[in-house]
């Protein structure tokens, strides 16, 4: 039975976990990777991460690779479905940013550069 | 030289606060059974303690998987009491919170509410029956009167506790409307 393709926004935690799992990784490494990528802003609690990983495995967005040969830690990796979900989310974020850029007013030069750096300049 | 203390908590966050306060004084919890807490000397501020009520007993496979995962994240299971687990992580590994998202915290409060609610409510008929037996035939059933009072006190505390967690959960749910 095909799942509905209409999805809500992903939480920041889920977005970053999917991002990290574009490479195989185990629990603690995911926590550190997400923290690094978000500049320390997104800190995943182990309980939260555990729940999120299980939910994403159930939905088929990621898969468990079984224990890594030497460290016996269970690794996870994103699936094809997970990659599609991730791309969809990135496009959703682009839509939000583009809409926001239309009304953007004020702000410092640094802030403006940051936005422009991601969006194509409008003619 | 270990130190023993006796306490009763119905609020696990107060209990956490107390355990972490003990750590700042150089005492780390190493054993817990019922009312008895045993502390071993440690470097002040060496650990961060957290408590969690598991969905199942620690011996259940679901719990086993969860605890294995926690161990991989550098979390040590100090002890357990029924479904409650006592966890700690070295402070040098950074801040330690089990749940950083609202959904999981809401679910945790819900679990505690359910536990307290069921046990609290179960104690009511027991307490009332014992109490009425003791009141009608005091000389014969004074023991029941005592038991009844204990049951009702426990029920009262647990239901008050359940109410606290219901309120905390409600506060969390309220903030869901605007922010993630």
Instruction: Mention every residue, 6+ apart, whose C-beta is less than 8 A from residue A77.
Output: A21, A23, A24, A25, A62, A63, A65
- The model's pLDDT over B13-66, given as tens digits with 9 standing for 90+, comes to 999 999 999 999 999 999 999 899 999 999 999 999 999 999 999 999 999 999
Average pLDDT, chain A: 86
pLDDT digits (tens, 9 = 90+) for A84-108: 999 999 999 999 988 988 888 888 8
As a whole number of angstroms, the distance between CA A45 and CA B128 comes to 43
CA B141 to chain centre: 34
A60 touching B (Cβ < 8 Å):
no
N-term to C-term CA, chain B = 47
- Tell me, what's the pLDDT at A27? 87
Interface of B with A in 63-82 (CB under 8 A): 66, 69-70, 72-75
Interface contact A47-B52, CB threshold 8 A: yes
Using a CB–CB cutoff of 8 Å, tell me whether A64 touches chain B: no
Q: Any CB–CB contact under 8 A between A38 and chain B?
A: no
- Positions of E strands within A4-59: 25-26
**pLDDT at residue A15 above 70?**
yes
Share of chain B above pLDDT 90, in %: 76
Residues on chain B touching A26 (C-beta within 8 angstroms) = 72
The answer to whether B83 touches B115, Cβ cutoff 8 Å, is yes
Note whether B110 contacts A: Cβ–Cβ < 8 A. Answer: no
Q: Residue B139 pLDDT more than 80?
A: yes
CA distance to partner chain B, nearest, from residue A122 (Å): 30
Q: Does B154 touch chain A (CB under 8 A)?
A: no
Query: What is the dihedral angle through the alpha carbons of A93, A94, A96, A101, rounded to the nearest 10 degrees?
Result: 140
Residue of B nearest to A47 (CA): B98
Chain A: closest CA distance from residue B74 (Å): 8
B172 touches A at CB < 8 Å: no
Cβ under 8 Å to A: B residues 89-108: 94-101, 103-104, 108
The two three-digit tokens of residue B133, written as one number: 């037996």
Least confident span in A10-19, A101-110, B70-79, B158-167: A101-110
Using the predicted structure, report yes or no on whether residue A71 has a pLDDT greater than 70.
Answer: no
| Residue B140: pLDDT band with limits 50, 70, 90 | confident
User: How many angstroms separate the CA atoms of B112 and B118, rounded?
Assistant: 10
Q: What is the DSSP string of B109-146?
A: HHHHHHHHHHHHHHHHHHHHHHHHHHHHTHHHHHHHHH
Cβ–Cβ < 8 Å for A83, A76: no
Reported pTM = 0.84
- Condensed to tens digits (0 to 9), the pLDDT of residues B113-128 reads 999 999 999 999 999 9
Confidence class for position A123, pLDDT limits 50, 70, 90: very low
pLDDT of residue A20: 96
What mean pLDDT is reported for chain B?
92
Query: Cα separation of A11 and B102, whole Å?
Result: 11
- Kindly report, residue by residue over B81-112, the tens digit of the pLDDT: 999 999 999 999 889 999 998 889 999 999 99
Query: Do the Cβ atoms of A11 and B73 come within 8 Å?
Result: no
The pLDDT-based confidence of A4 (bands split at 50, 70, 90) is low
B43 touches chain A (CB under 8 A): no
Contact B52 A26 (CB under 8 A): no
| Structure tokens given for A56 | 């994403």
Strands A74-78, A25-26: pairing is antiparallel
For the segment B137-154, the average pLDDT, to the nearest whole number, is 88
Of A28, A43, A47, the CB nearest to B104: A47
Position A111 scores a pLDDT of: 85
Q: Which residues contact A27 (CB under 8 A, 6 or more apart)?
A: A46, A49, A50, A53, A73, A74, B69, B72, B73
């Amino acid at each position: 039975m095909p799942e509905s393709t209409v999805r809500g926004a992903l939480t920041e935690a889920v977005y970053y976990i999917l991002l990290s799992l574009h490479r195989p990784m185990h629990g603690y490494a995911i926590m550190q990777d997400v923290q690094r990528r978000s500049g320390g802003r997104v800190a995943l609690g182990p309980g939260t991460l555990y729940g999120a990983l299980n939910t994403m495995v159930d939905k088929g967005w990621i898969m468990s690779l079984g224990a890594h040969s030497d460290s016996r830690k269970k690794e996870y990796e994103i699936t094809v479905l997970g990659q599609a979900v991730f791309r969809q989310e990135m496009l959703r974020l682009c839509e939000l940013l583009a809409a926001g850029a239309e009304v953007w007013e004020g702000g410092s030069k640094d802030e403006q550069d940051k936005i422009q750096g991601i969006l194509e300049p409008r003619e | 030289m270990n130190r023993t203390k006796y306490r009763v908590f119905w609020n696990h966050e107060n209990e956490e606060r107390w355990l972490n306060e003990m750590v700042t004084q150089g005492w780390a919890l190493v054993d817990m059974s019922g009312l008895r807490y045993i502390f071993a000397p440690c470097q002040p501020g060496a650990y961060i303690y957290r408590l969690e009520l598991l969905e199942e007993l620690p011996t259940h496979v679901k719990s086993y998987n969860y605890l294995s995962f926690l161990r991989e994240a550098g979390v040590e299971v100090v002890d357990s009491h029924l479904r409650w687990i006592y966890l700690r992580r070295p402070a040098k590994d950074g801040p330690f919170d089990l749940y950083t998202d609202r959904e999981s915290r809401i679910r945790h409060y819900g679990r505690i509410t359910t536990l307290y609610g069921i046990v609290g409510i179960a104690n009511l008929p027991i307490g009332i029956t014992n109490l009425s037996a003791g009141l009608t035939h005091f000389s014969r059933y004074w023991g029941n009167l005592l038991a009844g009072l204990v049951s009702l006190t426990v029920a009262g505390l647990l239901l008050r506790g359940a109410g606290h967690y219901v309120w905390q959960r409600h506060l969390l749910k309220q903030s869901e409307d605007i922010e993630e």
